Amino acid sequence: MGDIKVMNKADMLERVAMWSNMKPNPQMFVDTRLPEHERDLYSVIGPGVSEDPETKPAITDAQDFNIAYIGAEPGKGAALHSHLTVEVFIPVSGKWAIYWNEGDSQEEVILGPLDCVSVPPGVLRGFRNDGDAHALMIGIVGGSDNGHVDWAQSVLDRATATGLKLDENGFIIEAAE
C-alpha cells in the first residue's frame, strides 16, 4: 500500500468542480464557428486539447487525464478530428452519434446515457447530438501531454472562411491577424 495522505478541506475544495459555477467556452476549438459544430464546452479537469489559450479548467491538477463536459443542441457536435491520445465519450443525456473515418469508410455508433466508447489515438472522430433535445456528454482525453487536435483539412478551410485559424502553436486566432 502507498503512502496515506491527510488532506484538509481547503485543499480538497481546490479539486471540486461545482456545476453551478462552471461557464461554457463556446469557442474552445477552431470548428465551433461552423453552425453544425456549435457546442458548449466545459473544462472540468485540466485544459485537455483546447485551442483557446484562455481556457480555465475548474480543476487545474490534471494527472494523466482531462475531463470536459459537452453540451449541444440536436444535430450539433464536433467535426472530424484526431488526438495523440485515447478519447473516451460517455453520454449523460440524450442520444449521441460517435463517428469515425472520412468519406466512404465513415462508420458510426449511437450511444445513450452511460454508454461508453474509447477512440484510439490517431483515428479521425467526431460526434453529434443525435436526439431531439439539448444533451450532455462527458469527454475524457488521456495522457499528460495531449498535444493539439489534428483536424481534417476541410474543417480548417471552412473555419478560416469564418475568420478563425490556428497559429503555429495550435491556438485559435482571428484569420485577419
Please write the tens of the pLDDT for every residue from 128-177: 999 999 999 999 998 877 778 899 888 999 999 998 889 988 888 987 65
- Is 68 within 8 Å of 48 (Cβ atoms)? yes
Nearest-angstrom CA–CA distance, 170 and 147:
9
Mean pLDDT of all residues belonging to the chain = 92
Nearest Cα to 30, choosing from 117, 110, 150? 150
What are the C-alpha distances in Å from 37 to residues 30, 145, 146?
A: 10, 25, 22
Backbone angles phi, psi at 49, to 5 degrees: -110, 30
pLDDT at 127: 98
pLDDT at 110: 98
How does strand 164-166 pair with strand 172-174?
Answer: antiparallel
User: Looking at residues 66-82, what average pLDDT do you find?
Assistant: 96
pLDDT above 70: residue 56: yes
pLDDT above 80: residue 6: yes
pLDDT at 147: 78
**3-class state of residue 138 by DSSP:** strand
Q: Which residue has the higher pLDDT, 64 or 41?
A: 41
pLDDT tens-digit readout, 84-121? 999 999 999 999 999 999 989 999 999 999 999 999 99
Domain ranges of the chain: 22-161
**3-class state of residue 141 by DSSP:** strand
pLDDT at 111: 98
- Is 74 within 8 Å of 133 (Cβ atoms)? yes
Domain range 22-161, CATH architecture = Sandwich (2.60)
Model confidence at 57, pLDDT cuts 50, 70, 90, reads: very high
Nearest Cα to 97, choosing from 107, 111, 83? 111
